[in-house]
């Protein structure tokens, strides 16, 4: 991970032949989303109470 002089983040890999850019320069939020997407994705657990509450929030049409 490298921080550029303009405050953007980029990901680099060091190879025998030199550095390889893995991403374009990104702001912090976009960089975090990119890095989080690379690893295993966590399944969000929802309880039956949360599901029932979300169901009540849906706008009912007549």
Q: Is the dihedral of CA 13, 23, 27, 35 positive or negative?
A: negative
> What's the domain range around 40?
2-57
Say how many domains are in the chain: 1
58 band by pLDDT with thresholds 50, 70 and 90: confident
Strands (DSSP E) contained in 1-62 are 2-3, 9-10, 12-15, 18-21
For the stretch 39-56, pLDDT in tens is: 888 888 999 999 999 888
Q: Indicate whether 62 belongs to any domain.
A: no
Distances (CA, A) of 15 to 5, 19, 21: 23, 6, 11
> How far is residue 51's CA from residue 16's CA, in Å, rounded to a whole number?
51
């Amino acid at each position: 991970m490298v921080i550029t002089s303009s405050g953007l983040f980029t990901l680099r890999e060091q190879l025998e032949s030199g550095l390889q850019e893995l991403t374009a320069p990104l702001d912090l939020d976009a960089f975090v989303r990119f890095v989080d997407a690379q690893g295993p994705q966590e399944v969000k657990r929802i309880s039956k109470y949360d599901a029932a509450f979300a169901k009540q929030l849906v706008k009912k049409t007549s």
